[in-house]
Structure 1
């Protein structure tokens, strides 16, 4: 347990830097590395991916609170859009956790690998997808929130790679889209974490130190260091060639995807 906590401190340091420097969610790094860490410590093979996903999702809660506060002070959060997206997000996050609990570890692993390859491909091509929908239906945000919440909960991510392109397609300005996405990351993380904690609560083979499927030593280690290094990453983003670094990081993501499959 102590060894996992110490490694998680290092993992949080890296994920915080990546999040601040490249504007990417820490789940990209946290989930695969936690999966390898749990495997090395001989966690039950059928619980490795779901515990990595659940723990990653839990780490988003404190970072999302900080991000939302920052965007709110800058008056960038369009709260009416957050209010419309949130109900769907909560329901979708719960469904995503149920689905993750139902499918095998292998299927969950393949889904995350596909996500890694998608993000890496977008980074290599230096493009930001925009989901343009010309519909002005009142229920569209509820539906979009459900899809975003479900996929984010399944993968242990904050959903920014889906929320921002959707909001840009709805003709929201970039700064507002990012702010709304940050605000939506909180209900995704809270609903998903509570669902995973409840689903794994009475599971007979979860290791000591777990809250359901959330492994607390890893959670505390990642949070403790990532909140310190994320601001440093933001500062470095203004001093280093971020676009070139994204391409290098994309190569790392490709390697991680292959490693996860192997």
Structure 2
């Protein structure tokens, strides 16, 4: 029996994960009746019991309105109130206290955006959430915890959403139309460029035929079009004047001659006349 129950629960969890985007760790929103049932039947610790039923890690939540409701019930629910305060608290943003049913329905809303598993012993609340897409319901039966299978309404909702996904939306149609227009414009531009290239090629071919008829000589139009620039001389204002190196060479030669003559005169010695010594 346990194996069958685990397989059934795994199939249900796969349905919600694949179709509605539930991810681990799964968040479970409890009301006061479920917390009291856990304590009355000694289903403790609650984390391990719920994780075994879902086959994944779990976080358990309650609300302030649930705490106030358990407080108002009297001394018989003091232990369940203490256990509820030890759990995580989900934001309800209610200044005045509301009933647990109204608080939980407001948190879940129309599409269960935060992906909560609802754990309750209230039969009316269970039926109510079976008519909301993407809301799995957990309840206790004596010492066991059970996960309700998805209702026919939830399955039909999944089928309709899959069909909508298969068909294209209006925005996608608009995107395709704009892409087609852009492609057509690009193709037109390419065709016009190809036509211009063909015209240029034809003009060149016509020039070659005319030149072949004239014996390879260019016409006056070709000469005008293809004038070559002649090489010009340098700008005379930007050129430096040449220096007269011949005069400088003459001056240097004269200086060399004068230096040689002075050297010769310095080397000559004065000849003194020799007089005979008197005896």
Scaled to the shorter chain, the TM-score interval is under 0.3
More strand by share: 2
More helix by share: 1
Which one has more relative contact order, counting CA pairs under 8 Å at least 6 apart? 1
Name the TM-score, length of structure 2 as normaliser.
Answer: 0.23
Name the TM-score, length of structure 1 as normaliser.
Answer: 0.25
**Structure (1 or 2) with the larger CA radius of gyration:** 2
